[in-house]
Amino acid sequence: MPDLNIIGVPQSTYVRVVRMAAEEKGVPYAFDPQPPHSDPVTAVHPFGKVPVMRHGDVELCESRAIASYIDNTFDGPALMPKEPAAAARAEQWISIVNTIMDQSLVRRYFLAGYVFPQREGREPDATVISEVMPDVERQLSVIEDSLAKSDYLSGDGFSLADINLMPILFYLKGTSEAGARIDNSETLTKYFERNVARPSFAATMPPT
């Protein structure tokens, strides 16, 4: 039984990020697929959000903190660039994705537009989708502009910034509007295909 325990539903983009971090480092971990606000989660996260992590006496919540702990505790390839400007650029992207893009791309567009209606046997919510689409378009364009200058978000090779974005792009690819926006962009398509091929991505595929 591995010492590192990652807790949280596999469908969560944030849970996938920390699992990908462990996979990229080559760290064995036990995965406990617990929903938000379940007892094992609230025992660690004061607001019941996933992921949470246990490693011996260490218990942590928040994906960025957990990924940082995994990166700094275990051997294996570094997940953050060493060069200060590239490291700061990776942090900048993680912050933008987690504080701005997650809200519109995941919560409003993907979950409210597609997942929640479909769970109730309804069609995707066209009103929600059309309201959020300007934000989706703008945010994908911002990512595209950055990737037009560099193959990776930090500008210095694959990093946690790319790990942090890929689970979101994966969900968007399966939708009509954002999926078409990605497919019509050579830059976004190349980026997606480059990173989707990583074993850490295949190993953390959410159930359908």
Ligand X SMILES: N[C@@H](CCC(=O)N[C@@H](CS)C(=O)NCC(=O)O)C(=O)O
How far apart are the C-alpha atoms of 181 and 189, rounded to whole Å? 10
Residues that bind ligand X (CB under 6 A): 12-14, 36, 48-51, 62-64, 98
Cβ distance to ligand X smaller for residue 40 or 48: 48
Name 55's bridge partners. Answer: 4, 58
CB closer to ligand X, 48 vs 76: 48
* Residue whose pair of structure tokens reads 């689409």 in the numeric block: 133
In whole angstroms, what is the distance from residue 80 CA to residue 96 CA? 16
Closer residue to ligand X in complex, CB, 154/164: 164
Q: Which is nearer to ligand X, 61 or 86 (CB)?
A: 61
* Shortest reach from residue 116's CB to ligand X, in Å: 13
What is the rounded CA–CA span in Å between residue 121 and residue 130?
Answer: 20
CA dihedral 191, 204, 175, 125 (to 10 degrees): -140
Tell me how far apart the alpha carbons of residues 78 and 61 are, in angstroms, rounded to a whole number: 21
Nearest distance in Å: CB 197, ligand X: 24
In angstroms, what is the minimal distance from the CB of 113 to ligand X? 16
CB of 66 to ligand X, least distance (A): 7
